Homo-oligomer: A and B are copies of this chain.
Amino acid sequence: MTRRSSSVTIRDVARHAAVSVATVSRYLNQNAPVSQEVSERIQQVMLDLSYKPLAVARNLATRRTQTIGLVLHNMHTDFFAPLLRGIEAVVSEYQYNLLVATYKHTSRPENLSPLGPQNTDGILVYADSFNEEQLIDLCRVKFPVVLIHRTSPAHLKIPFVTVENRTATRKIITHLIETHGRRSIAFLRGPFEQEDSRLREQGYRDALDAHGLIVKPALIIDGEFDQFVAYRNVKKLLSGEGQRFDAVFTGDDEAAIGALRAIQEAGLRVPEDVAVVGFDDSRLSPFLNPPLTTVCAPTEDVGRTAARLLFNLLQEQPAEMATLLPTDIIIRRSCGCPASAAMN
């Protein structure tokens, strides 16, 4: 591709200012004294030549990229927007750069991840975008990593930040049982590879167990955190006879969209006939019809916290190993509570 016309280098500046390159470099980095007079001369020359230090050369010399990376397995959902927002805020506060890549560890041949020690000072890894093997490799070279929405493999000590999944799910299911008397609660599972999915399922089982309700396998179906998958599968569940349910936990808010539609198209009322609750408190959830009762996950805060943690690592400051951000249940209408309870 394009070869950039060679631009002005630090040597040009040095020559014009009649000083050595070292002095120019010192002026640039303010890391050694430079006389007032020389400083001014250099500054002037830099302006005249409109000199811009080449980041890549500096990076090579210092062995630092001033860049952190974020690996996501995709950008399909709106979930990553607040996440990215939180991360970006911290990154720019530190005057760093942010490299964003989507990547899924699945393609076996040459697991050449787009982000790593080659091009960043540290990375944020979302959920299962990297597999354990890749994490091990990074640990071996002591590369700073912070995991997002997944815990660290036991033997690797990688800091992670995620949200309270299990107890939050237990609480919201408990709400369906205790407050609304629901006893046949369907569960839409998220992608199995994502820890969030598995923990939410545990929370669901916890709640049922605690109330002496038996877990009916037929009521546990795939939602995949996906509107369309959820729609299809809830529809299928509704059409099969004998699979009556009076509530559904949709796994996340994305899937709730599909679930709501399937239920309403079947002529059932939400929440009267079937209560629906989600997880995430996505941007959409208050606007669904009826407004969705859900678990509020502080996604932007997750992003901020993870980024902060990574910067701690970069500065070799202590970093919390495990951060579990609290989640709240947000009562709206879809669980059966009166509309009065908060219109967020």
Contacts and interface: CB of A to CB of B under 8 A. Distances in A.
Interface of A: 1-7, 50, 52-57, 59-60, 63-65, 67, 75-76, 78, 80-81, 84-85, 88, 92, 97-102, 114, 116-119, 121, 137, 141-144, 283-284, 287-289, 313-316
Contacts of A144: 2
A93 B88 CA distance: 24
5 contacts: A2-B64, A4-B142, A5-B142, A56-B56, A98-B100
Per assembly, the copies of the chain total 2
A244 to B, nearest CB: 27
A177 to B, nearest CB: 28
A7 B97 CA distance: 23
A142 B80 CA distance: 34
A230 B168 CA distance: 34
A175 to B, nearest CB: 23
| Those 3 A-B pairs whose CB atoms lie nearest each other, nearest first | A287-B287, A55-B119, A55-B118
Contacts of A100: 84, 88, 98-100
Contact of A1 (B56, B99, B121): B121
B3 A63 contact: yes
